Chain A
Amino acid sequence: MLSLKNVSRTFNGGLAGFQNISLQSKKGEVIGLLGTSGCGKSTLLRVISGLDPDYSGAVEIDQEKIKAVHEKVGIIFQEPRLMPWLNVIDNIGFGVKQKTDKLSEAKAYIDLVGLAGSEKLYPKDLSGGMAQRVSIARALITNPEVLLLDEPFSALDAFTKMQLQDLLLNIWNQYRSSIFLVTHDIDEALYLCDRIFILRGQPGEVYKELTVDVQKPRTRGDEELAKMKGQILELLDLSKSEKGNQNEHNKVASK
């Protein structure tokens, strides 16, 4: 499906961005990219989506190297990014090329994301959760084989977040598209993903790959998942802050 071979994209003379990321996704697999803020997760998604063509290495979809935006890729951003001058149904149909079946298709997706009855509302009248539902429908309407999500639920309250995670799971069940989910929410990654890549460093690199072998749908308080959460926390934060302290000690020492 999607494969990354030694992909790097760095800024500031190699001090930010990410480097040397290689991974392969299987069809219908949900891959989580987990990492602290600033380790290049958004940059990676932009490279995969084709929005940022200035990378080194190879990004391939079905053995086809991509250098521009690929029509098999859909992306959902952290912010809904709706067109404020279009109502819900027109926003959902925004990316559809043929005018004829735009409306009927948009209608189908409106039901899928649970927004029936809100077709005529404008973005200013939508709650954060509703707006993100619209942007999910807008991304799905072009039938992407690879769906990229950049911290899609991080701006939502806990309850809306859980609702939308379940919605995403539903959608995945129906369409079985490959999903790349960038997140900094460990619970979210464990609830949704088949494999989790942990990124660390500046520029970010794959630090660890974890497979979550729990049948979906999962229960949120699952014991196995709780154990993995502890493991991930150790990999991410604790060891990092220790390392940070060490660095500080080193600096002090070298002075």
Chain B
Amino acid sequence: MASKNTVLPQKSQWKSKDKIRIPKKLKLTLVGSIVPLVLLVAWQVMSVIGVFESHLLPAPTQVLERIGSLVADGSLWGHIGVTLYRIFIGFGIGVACAVIAGSVVGYLKTAELLVDPLIQGFRSIPSLAWVPLFILWMGIGEPSKITLIAVGVFFPVYLNIVSGIQGVDRKLIEVGKIYNFTPLQMVKRIILPASLPSFFTGVRSGLGLGWMFVVAAELMGASKGIGYLLVVGQNTYSPDLVLASIVMIAIFGKLTDSVLKGFEVRALHWQDNFGKQN
């Protein structure tokens, strides 16, 4: 009873603190954008007065114009659509394989002994080294691109799932033992939720690698996609197109990551993290 009474006023105190914090957050984003803005303005000025030659480094406004024209003639959405499609499929396959392999290896000691050394060995091969083989096997069509992305996504997700499962607090496992949980209940009710944080860490870094590999895959031969735009930009001597593509990659990489982050925040709202406090 006494504890109930003391909790309520405390809560309202926190709320009022939160209200003060929101402008603070805004201030932080403002502070964070000072340097980029200054650089952007400097870049623009240098371009206008001719320090940067526009056939090598076009002004920000030119890059924006280029994006505008891509939007206007409607081709941008097609390229972005193809790239997003590739990344989603490859990412999905990579994550699915990693979840299955990671869960089995993390949970079963024998599976770990049998499979983990092999996977660790494969991990030390840079994924791009597989490209020639994939092309030999599957041609330069979609399958080889998607496989490359899936391979890139697989490793961070796999490693994080394994370490997440193996890092589950033994003390929590014992609570399950006290209630005579079956292995399945143990996985569902303790191990899975407890390893969720590291799963999200893995998935988010997997997505980052996915973007890296989708660009690599499209650079090595494609007729559509943002990576293809990069190649076109290079071949037609138009740095504005290259920069426009890079800006698009940055925007969509950030967007897809914040979608994942949204899921993460919602699924892990119970976590007591330093990062969440401010």
Interface residues of A (CB under 8 A from B): 49, 51, 68-69, 71, 73-75, 77, 79, 81, 83-86, 94-95, 114-118, 122-124, 127, 129-130, 142
Q: Is the CB of B272 within 8 A of A69?
A: no
- Given A49-B178, A94-B179, A95-B179, answer yes or no on A114-B270 (Cβ-Cβ < 8 Å): no
Smallest Cβ-Cβ distance to B267: which chain A residue? A85
List the A residue with the shortest CB-CB distance to B175.
A81
**CB <8 Å contact, A124 and B171:** no
Is there contact, CB below 8 Å, between B1 and A94?
no
Q: Compute how far the CA of A122 lies from the CA of B46 in the bound complex, rounded to whole angstroms.
A: 55
Q: Are B193 and A85 in contact (CB under 8 A)?
A: yes
- B3 and A51 contacting across the interface, CB-CB below 8 Å: no
The answer for the CA separation of A51 and B4 in the assembled complex, in Å, is 35
Total A-B residue contacts, Cβ distance less than 8 Å: 59
Q: How far does the alpha carbon of A128 sit from the alpha carbon of B3 in the complex, in Å?
A: 12
Inter-chain contact A81/B171, CB cutoff 8 Å? yes
Which secondary structure characterizes the binding site on chain B? helix
- B interface residues (Cβ-Cβ under 8 A, vs A): 1, 3-4, 7, 171-172, 174-175, 177-180, 189-190, 193-194, 196, 268-272
Q: Are A85 and B196 in contact (CB under 8 A)?
A: yes
Contact of B178 among A51, A86, A127, A129 (CB under 8 A): A51
Query: Smallest distance from the beta carbon of A55 to chain B beta carbons, Å?
Result: 16
- CB contacts (< 8 Å) of B1 on chain A: these are 114
Contact B171 A51 (CB under 8 A): no
Q: Which residues of B contact A127 (CB under 8 A)?
A: 3
Residues of A within 8 A of B7 (CB): 117-118
- The reply to whether B179 and A142 contact each other, CB–CB distance below 8 Å, is yes
- Smallest CB separation, B213 vs chain A (Å): 32
- Kindly provide the distance from the CB of B276 to the nearest chain A CB, expressed in whole angstroms: 10
- Report if A116-B193 is in contact (Cβ < 8 Å); known contacts: A51-B177, A83-B172: no
Q: Which residue of B lies closest to A71 (CB)?
A: B180
Are A118 and B179 neighbours in the complex by a CB distance under 8 Å? no
Min C-beta distance of B197 to chain A, whole Å: 10
Nearest Cβ on chain B to A79's Cβ, whole angstroms: 7
Given A51-B177, A79-B171, A94-B179, are A84 and B271 neighbors across the interface (CB < 8 Å)?
Answer: yes
Contacts known (A84-B271, A114-B3, A116-B4); A94 close to B175, Cβ less than 8 A: yes
Distance in Å: Cβ of A167 to nearest Cβ of chain B: 12
Which residues of A sit under 8 angstroms from B268, Cβ to Cβ?
85
Q: Which A residues are in CB contact (< 8 Å) with B272?
A: 84, 123-124
**Minimal beta-carbon separation of A36 from chain B (angstroms):** 23
Question: Is there contact, CB below 8 Å, between B177 and A69?
Answer: yes
CB pairs A–B below 8 angstroms (30 shown): A49-B178, A51-B178, A68-B180, A69-B177, A69-B178, A69-B180, A71-B180, A73-B178, A79-B171, A81-B172, A81-B175, A83-B172, A83-B189, A83-B190, A84-B270, A84-B272, A85-B194, A85-B268, A86-B270, A95-B178, A114-B1, A114-B3, A117-B4, A123-B270, A123-B272, A124-B270, A124-B272, A129-B3, A130-B3, A142-B179
CA distance in complex: A78, B33 (Å):
48
A84 contacts which chain B residues (CB < 8 A)?
270-272
Q: Complex formed: what's the CA distance from A170 to B180 in Å?
A: 28
Per CB-CB distance, the 5 closest pairs between chain A and chain B, nearest first, are A124-B272, A95-B179, A85-B193, A85-B270, A122-B270
* Residue ID in chain B nearest A74 by CB atoms: B178
In addition to A77-B171, A124-B272, 10 A-B residue pairs with Cβ atoms within 8 Å of each other are: A79-B171, A81-B175, A83-B189, A114-B1, A116-B4, A117-B7, A118-B3, A118-B7, A122-B269, A122-B270
Are A118 and B196 in touch, CB under 8 angstroms?
Answer: no
Q: How far is the CA of A75 from the CA of B175 in the complex (A)?
A: 9
A83 in contact with B193 given A51-B178, A71-B180 (CB within 8 Å): yes
Chain B residues with Cβ below 8 Å from A68 are: 180
Across the interface, which residues of A come within 8 angstroms of B178, CB to CB? 49, 51, 69, 73-75, 95
Report Cα–Cα, A115/B1, bound state, in Å: 7
Nearest CB on B from A115, distance (A): 8
Q: Please, how many angstroms separate the alpha-carbon atoms of A53 and B79 in the complex?
A: 63
Instruction: Find the residue from B1, B7, B172 having the highest chain A CB count within 10 A.
Output: B7
Which B residues lie within 8 Å of A77 (CB)? Answer: 171
Nearest chain B CB to A192's CB is how many angstroms away?
21
Determine the distance from Cα of A96 to Cα of B220 in the docked complex, in whole angstroms: 57
User: CA separation between A123 and B271, bound complex, in Å?
Assistant: 9
Contact residues in B for A114 (Cβ distance below 8 Å)? 1, 3
| A95 cross-chain contacts in B, Cβ below 8 A | 178-179
Q: Are A124 and B4 in contact (CB under 8 A)?
A: no
Q: Which residue of B lies closest to A129 (CB)?
A: B3
Which residue of B is nearest A148, CB measured?
B178
Give CA–CA (A74, B180) in the complex, Å. 11
